Structure 1
Amino acid sequence: MSWQDDAGRDLVKSFGDRMAMFVRGEGAYLWDADGNRYLDFLAGIAVNSLGHAHPAFVEAISAQAATLAHVSNYFATPPQLALAAQLKRIAGTGDAGRVYFGNSGAEANEAAFKLARLHGGSDRPRVLALTDAFHGRTMGTLALTGKPYMQEPFLPMVPGVEFIDSTIEALEAALDDRVAALFVEPIKGEAGVIELPTGYLVAARELTARHGALLIIDEIQTGAGRTGEWFAFQHAGITPDAITVAKGIGGGFPIGALITFDTAAELFYPGTHGSTFGGNALGTAVAGAVLAQIESEGLVRNAAERGAQLREIIARIDSPLVSGCRGQGLLVGVGLRQPVAKALVAAAQERGLIINAPNDTTIRLVPALNIGDVELDEFEALFAASLDAVLLTEGHPA
């Protein structure tokens, strides 16, 4: 029996076939069960901010596990309070902000959905989200996810959510005084790393404020420094009412959070939401150490600089398959002229490179925030070779 047989027998089918069996990681590299090494430009889907087995990550887990892991939310712990203050500081909430902790991005968005309902009450039954957005797969967050094919097997959805096009004109037409909240991804990662139109977040802030609606920004994939700012909304110079974070803040440890600003911070009251494991001492200690390491190593700036280098690399790879780049920092989407993204992912893996295809015509690149010249040079060679291999397979000269 192989590991593929074990996975096929024992694991649910919702993820499809596993692509490899990884047994070890270090820095930007993974090793499979056969000892093959891979350059990881997926980083657990924008999760492993510091790469694999970073000493700060390992030390934080070891030290906190040997001290205190979990006591429930009837009690506070020093790592929990420290991380809440840390998140408020880097998000810029000021003293009025508050933080709710969960275990994932979906849980953070569930909390945000309930925040919207508390704000809206019976007078504001409408919640707006964007077409082709992705906010999670739970029944609540799936209702916010603008992908009909994901929703269809689970209809009816939680009511009240309306989807609008990602244009300022659609936003102006849809917003009124019966809207409780607008949910926005600054960059739609699962849609193929699609950026919002220039000025969209500024317009969204002005319009939601005018109509008394909450502006809730999903920073689960874009946060923790990935776009070259701590959070992507900071590029626009605005202040939202709430942001949701997960993925990169834990560096590989499951944790999510809802960060609320100003008056939105006072909407939850005792009994309105909770999580047994959310904000436990172990998770918050690890996330605090990861964020501290991102700050001390200057990795927010590194994401901006290495992201620019990565775009330059893509631009100089002379392949008829590549149509261009999009995204910010180290969240990069490579557009393809043909629907061969899955074939390209497979060709790259054969050559020792891990990348991702969110759709048939896009490659998503989200490496660790601490990559440098060595990893970028290796990526260039492996990605170019993978593109050539796909061209040959498709019957075109390389």
Structure 2
Amino acid sequence: MIVNSLIIKVASRCNLNCSYCYVYNLGDKTYLNQPKLMSDDTFIKIIDRTLEHCLEQNLKIFTFIFHGGEPMLQKKEFYINFVNTANTVLNKNSIRARYAMQTNGLLIDKKWSELFNNLKIYLGISLDGYKEINDKYRVDHKNKGSFDKVVKGLKIGQKFLKSQPGILSVIDPSSDPIKYYNLMKDLRVKNFDLLWPHANIDLNPEGKPWENSSTKKSIVYSDWLIKIFDIWYKEKKQTNMNITMFNSIIGLILNFKYSGNEDFGLDEVGNLVIETNGDIQVVGALKLCGDGFTVSGASIKDHSFSKALETKLANLYYNSHKYLCNKCMECPILEVCGGGPIYSRYSSVNGFNNESIYCKDFVKLIVHIQNTIYSSLPEIYKDKFESIDYEEVVGFLDNFDNDFNQEVITENFKKLTSFSS
């Protein structure tokens, strides 16, 4: 099993207090036991383990993603030392390191921008949309909205950064999707991605039990996304805007190599999380499943990345698009959907042996995108492609017999999906 990127939690505290944050506000309290900032000793061990893994797996490119909390609470000297050390260690072995950071944008200024330019750190900024929507959730510790400060940081970054920052937005279906899309154009954002709210079978995006079962089956997210997709698809040659989710789905539909990611496709998910104390964990969104859920017992002090991937949850996460429930395994759009992000499939009753809470949304969105592409193809290519009947797929899912084709579930899969909080 190959790790090709690390999400490094360089700071375990944040200068915002977003209501939906899985680190601080959805029940997991493990951050309280973490150092506020990662030490130099820990980052040096991370680089040593990275070299070990790259040599073991013959990797020539490796990606470090600085994360938090808020990573810009860490000192500038930390990043200078990290990048210079990593480049020295890895370059000697013909390995190229790439760097990125996901930030809330509040602390971006000219000096930080110059540092990111010098260290070649690509910046992603979290912004959930126009002011009324962003400020419903992304607030500071005095409950004041962050929109104005984030936009200020974005504009500073756009002025001084050599690589223009991207935007990451959590979907809010109550917002106006066209207003959101126009905001991205107005802000001259060329690269952005849309994130499914962190929810699962038990808990809604606010971290509370779902009020009724019909709410879970809603397709409001796909309806919201389709409105953006349609206008983006028509004008993308003019705007030159990249929306990661849509590009990934299109790539999977057209069978482009390496189009899969944590959300869609059948590829392995080759990243791990390193906490500020050096603990090796998996994607933070799984903290939604229970306090301490992501704690594996693995640490960079005692475990290689390969050994860390042998832990139960890390193994499942790595293979999260392969270890799927019967319904997913038989679904007509499996190769594109891949079951969706693993956190959205969890329940305290069946572990991960469920279809995603967003199953119907995935179906509607993927079918719509595939049919849009099909309709735009020249006739000579249509025999190599096909349209999909949305109602047929939904009918299949609604009438699926969960006892059908039991052989697709191995004993290993049963063990891996038997998690409970």
What's the TM-score once normalised by structure 2's chain length?
0.31
Tell me the TM-score normalized by structure 1. 0.32
Relative contact order: is structure 1 or structure 2 higher (C-alpha 8 Å, sep ≥ 6)?
Answer: 1
